Structure 1
Amino acid sequence: MSTSRTVICLLRNDLRLHDNELFHWAQRNAEKIVPLYCFDPRHYVGTHNYNLPKTGPFRLRFLLESVRDLRDTLLAKAVCHAVTSEELHVEKKVKEICAQMRVKVHTCWGSTLYHRDDLPFHHMSRLPDVYTQFRKAVETQSKVRPVFPAPEQLKPLPPGLEEGAIPMAQDLQQTEPLTDPRSAFPCSGGESQALARLKHYFWDTDAVATYKETRNGLIGVDYSTKFAPWLANGCISPRYIYHQIQQYERERTANQSTYWVIFELLWRDYFKFVGVKYGNRLFQVQGLQDKSVPWKKDMKLFDAWKEGRTGVPFVDANMRELAMTGFMSNRGRQNVASFLTKDLGLDWRMGAEWFEYMLIDHDVCSNSGNWLYKAGIWLYGDYVRQWIPELQGISGADAHTPWTLSPAVLSHARVSLSETYPTPIVTAPEWSRHVNKKPSGSGPSPRGKKGPSHTPKQHRDRGIDFYFSRSKNL
């Protein structure tokens, strides 16, 4: 290899040329550039807790398409893309080895809307545990950085370096999945497809202008942005989406729907930064509340859930869509997660690891965060205690449902219902069941003969009653 200054661009979840600081920096600091993507065998073995396959056929296909697309883009810029399936150590080990070999390491932060260094918190430990506090802080005190321009031409490879071969699914012990015509995500991986999707959703159809009204849909391609798979692989930059929204609002319209796309990107940022703050606690069974829950590990129940054989049609339809397409709507994900944890009482990590295997758009922080949220072991009691100090003595998520607690627990927390804090003016039966408590009253069960008619209409889309909805759209 030439003795000229050579930069190896080690790619992971940043498979794009636009708004990529890595290529921008390399172009300015190198004479030769080696773009490198490594297929780590550890990504294709069993998961940590339940030894489920880690990367499924749909996600693998999308990844391979994304790598091929980036290679095509780089070839058009006169650079070949070296690919290897050699096993690597984690980032820390890579840095240690590079230090031993006197190779300088330069890292770039580019996966979030707001840059880590621009957060309005002096230290990551001060990151709010409540999303709303996080959102308001960054929206008022931080700015989204401009995008890095895609280079017109990249520096060449060092002479004599051969490009590696992009593996086939079979090389990674997977089979090529069949494409189901019913899929709500019939799209391919890669930066070019991601940019085409944004153009379609924003500029060609104006679908973004009604996103807030349609985002909870179930059927079709355009009920939501569908950006998540490309974001997960770094095929599209969240900053690019943000600046395109800004342009759309200037040139077309600005409304709740256009803002809501940014709102969802902020949720994604929030989960990533919470992951930085709490590290491995994000994956521990007791969750961020360090709450002991007697989760079951019944594999028969789990198999029925993941195969769509629960006997609850809405749950089964979503799980079968996932199995046959690698995709599920956000609405579906919330409900099947609630069903697994709240109604079956199964370990939330079983569901999280199955999603990791099946979802095209698997993102480790968003996946674990959402599962902790639905399992009731996220951080959400803090918000209630901040604004209702009379419930300060109640720990964890129990602060949301004080009427389900025993007199002894309430007494210990110095809470007296109807005196220090009011009893609920209305309760839906499933509220109690969904926090693993028995309803305080003896009212009829929503599973009775009349089904959801026993539940106030405005609550029928919550919890188990949602699965029995008689809506024609379901």
Structure 2
Amino acid sequence: MKTAIVWFKTDLRLHDNETLIKAIAQSDQILPIYCFDDAHFETTPYGFKKTGSYRAQFLIESLKNLDENLRKIGSGLLILKGKPEVEIPKIVAEFKVHKVFAEREVAFEEKQTEKLVQTELFKLRCELETFSTSTLYHAEDLPFTKKDIPDVFTVFRKKTEQDASVRAVFAKASKIKSLSIPEMNLPTLKELGLTTSKMDSRAAIQFKGGETEAIKRLKHYFFETKSLSIYKETRNGMLGEDYSSKFSAWLALGCISPRTIYQEIKKYENENGANDSTYWLVFELLWRDFFRFMFKKHQTKFFLYSGIKTDIVNSKSLNKKFLSQWIKGATESDFINANMIELKKTGFMSNRGRQNVASYFCNELNMDWRIGASYFESQLVDYDVCSNWGNWAYLAGVGNDPRKNRYFNIEKQANDYDKDRTFRDLWLQ
């Protein structure tokens, strides 16, 4: 019998999952796995835990939900812990697996792990087949080759919208012939080297991981509240559950796919009418695509101080006092402080807040932007490698911003977006 492994990573869903569908079609029996990679729980060179407790908790919830959904159709999820290039080959050898199906990676460290796994599988005469499942537009459908993707978003967007189309979603798998999978055994936060962080009751939204919750959120934001129709007007808000879609955490772990969201936007437009707001959410999904394709093109450059520019020398050193004040929300700016306290106590911050605190870090505190990006990596519940590092490089002036220096006037921003101080009063009390 042909036995295949489906290696789940940041595609923790049954809907629109090409990897799973192709594995089922090409195999007699399936073994779904997830590996807690030790490297994801180490301390980075910048001194922060790579994965903090908010994101780890969200991941654990998402895996529980994936296991529940898989068991409903005859399977389950086997949990591994260690180095994927060590743990996955062990399972391949034990169950005589002929092929491993997985999501295709784009960022450097993830690509390195993928190559290590592939090398070890080759020794066992087992193939690794990967699929591009994380973007709205499929990489093969773009109107440019990888090396020719424009570095300016507007150029990329216009050409892509004009010459490419979004593929249809894959139907949800209805039945899986699976090996017998024992009850799921997840590591605790303590076993991952983390402490439990209870989300503050003031949080804009109480995130809960999993595909079931992702679909629930989409239905709420689109069809129950019709918030999508005013998204463009409200997206720069900072308070409450519905000023923005809040899909980012579920997108980051692939609990929902961009194409599923796109499909539902089209359905919503048919029922409620299309406007600038319904388009703007597609526009934001395109930004997400853009950063992923930039990482495919530029690879390690987004982790260098000079980013994708070549003429910038790192002249900034670490000021431990300033860094500590920024993290604790004890800077000279109450607007920055409120945002940083929200991040520390909830693992989330509005898009407007993120731009301001990053600009403040780079321009006012004058520190190496990668330290700030690394702190966000640890702290954010919705951390996505491409969006996080791409956006930080952008704001530091070493990424895809066509303008030389994007400087935010923090006081003006505070007056524009928190005129009556409601946001600051909430988090600084």
Q: Same fold (TM over 0.5)?
A: yes
Whole-Å separation in 1 of the counterparts to 2:129 and 2:70: 21
Q: Which residue of 1 aligns with 2:93?
A: none
Q: Which residue of 1 aligns with 2:8?
A: 11
Q: Would you say 1:239 and 2:259 are equivalent positions?
A: yes
Q: Which residue of 2 aligns with 1:365?
A: 386
- Aligned partner letter, 1:464: I
Q: Would you say 1:463 and 2:409 are equivalent positions?
A: yes
Alpha-carbon deviation of 1:170?
1.1
Q: Which residue of 2 aligns with 1:50?
A: 46
Structure 2: state its 5+ residue gaps: 86-112, 424-429
Q: Would you say 1:336 and 2:357 are equivalent positions?
A: yes
Corresponding residue to 2:191 among 171, 183, 186: 171
Whole-Å separation in 1 of the counterparts to 2:177 and 2:38: 30
Q: Which residue of 2 aligns with 1:111?
A: 134
What are the Cα deviations for residues 449-471 of structure 1, in whole angstroms up to 9, with x where unaligned? xxxxxxxxxxxxx4233355371
Query: Matched residue of 2:7: which SS?
Result: strand
What are the Cα deviations for residues 301-323 of structure 1, in whole angstroms up to 9, with x where unaligned? 00100110103111000000000
CA contact 1:44–1:54 (8 Å) conserved in 2:
yes
CA contact 1:46–1:53 (8 Å) conserved in 2:
yes
Alpha-carbon deviation of 1:256?
0.5
CA contact 1:307–1:319 (8 Å) conserved in 2:
yes
Structure 1 residue ranges (4+ consecutive) displaced by more than 4 angstroms after TM superposition: none
What are the Cα deviations for residues 133-192 of structure 1, in whole angstroms up to 9, with x where unaligned? 1001110111100000001111121x5x54551111111011221121110120200000
Whole-Å separation in 1 of the counterparts to 2:217 and 2:414: 34
Q: Which residue of 1 aligns with 2:29?
A: 32
Query: Matched residue of 1:39: which SS?
Result: strand
CA contact 2:143–2:164 (8 Å) conserved in 1:
yes
Corresponding residue to 1:132 among 138, 148, 154: 154
Q: Which residue of 2 aligns with 1:324?
A: 345
- Aligned partner letter, 1:463: N
CA contact 1:343–1:464 (8 Å) conserved in 2:
no
Q: Which residue of 2 aligns with 1:374?
A: 395
Corresponding residue to 1:68 among 54, 64, 70: 64
What is the CA RMSD across the aligned residues, in angstroms? 1.4
* Greater relative CO, 1 or 2 (CA 8 Å, sep 6+): 2
CA contact 1:114–1:144 (8 Å) conserved in 2:
yes
Q: Which residue of 2 aligns with 1:226?
A: 246
CA contact 2:302–2:399 (8 Å) conserved in 1:
no
What are the Cα deviations for residues 266-291 of structure 1, in whole angstroms up to 9, with x where unaligned? 00000000010000001101111121
Whole-Å separation in 2 of the counterparts to 1:380 and 1:207: 30
What are the Cα deviations for residues 250-278 of structure 1, in whole angstroms up to 9, with x where unaligned? 11110000000000000000000001000
What are the Cα deviations for residues 347-376 of structure 1, in whole angstroms up to 9, with x where unaligned? 101100000000001011111111111111
Corresponding residue to 1:304 among 314, 325, 332: 325
Corresponding residue to 1:120 among 143, 152, 166: 143
CA contact 1:322–1:328 (8 Å) conserved in 2:
yes
Q: Which residue of 1 aligns with 2:291?
A: 271
Q: Which residue of 1 aligns with 2:103?
A: none
Query: Matched residue of 1:337: which SS?
Result: helix
Whole-Å separation in 2 of the counterparts to 1:303 and 1:466: 25
Whole-Å separation in 2 of the counterparts to 1:25 and 1:209: 36
Alpha-carbon deviation of 1:104?
1.7
Alpha-carbon deviation of 1:51?
2.5
Whole-Å separation in 2 of the counterparts to 1:368 and 1:310: 23
- Aligned partner letter, 1:358: Q
Query: Matched residue of 2:43: which SS?
Result: coil
Q: Would you say 1:93 and 2:116 are equivalent positions?
A: yes
Whole-Å separation in 1 of the counterparts to 2:278 and 2:400: 28
Query: Matched residue of 2:6: which SS?
Result: strand
CA contact 2:74–2:176 (8 Å) conserved in 1:
yes
Whole-Å separation in 2 of the counterparts to 1:466 and 1:329: 17
CA contact 2:50–2:378 (8 Å) conserved in 1:
yes
CA contact 2:33–2:77 (8 Å) conserved in 1:
yes
Structure 2 counterparts to residues 407-418 of structure 1, below 5 A = none
CA contact 1:147–1:239 (8 Å) conserved in 2:
yes
Whole-Å separation in 2 of the counterparts to 1:145 and 1:74: 25
Structure 2 counterparts to residues 286-305 of structure 1, below 5 A = 286-290=306-310, 291-305=312-326
- Aligned partner letter, 1:26: A
**Structure with the greater alpha carbon radius of gyration:** 1
What's the TM-score, normalizing by structure 1? 0.81
Q: Which residue of 1 aligns with 2:110?
A: none
The percentage of aligned residue pairs carrying the same residue is 43
Whole-Å separation in 1 of the counterparts to 2:69 and 2:197: 25
User: How many residues of Structure 1 are paired with residues of Structure 2 in the alignment?
Assistant: 392
Task: Using the TM superposition, name which of 190-199 and 81-90 deviates more.
Answer: 81-90
Q: Which residue of 2 aligns with 1:143?
A: 165
- Aligned partner letter, 1:173: G
CA contact 1:313–1:467 (8 Å) conserved in 2:
no
Whole-Å separation in 2 of the counterparts to 1:467 and 1:272: 29
Whole-Å separation in 2 of the counterparts to 1:119 and 1:185: 35
Corresponding residue to 1:211 among 204, 226, 231: 231
Whole-Å separation in 2 of the counterparts to 1:136 and 1:41: 41
Query: Matched residue of 1:182: which SS?
Result: coil
Corresponding residue to 2:175 among 153, 159, 165: 153
Q: Which residue of 2 aligns with 1:196?
A: 216
- Aligned partner letter, 1:8: I
- Aligned partner letter, 2:204: A
Query: Matched residue of 2:131: which SS?
Result: coil
CA contact 1:84–1:164 (8 Å) conserved in 2:
no
Alpha-carbon deviation of 1:38?
0.2
Whole-Å separation in 2 of the counterparts to 1:111 and 1:177: 29
Whole-Å separation in 2 of the counterparts to 1:349 and 1:276: 19
Query: Matched residue of 1:80: which SS?
Result: coil
Q: Which residue of 2 aligns with 1:351?
A: 372
Corresponding residue to 2:202 among 175, 182, 190: 182
Alpha-carbon deviation of 1:84?
0.9
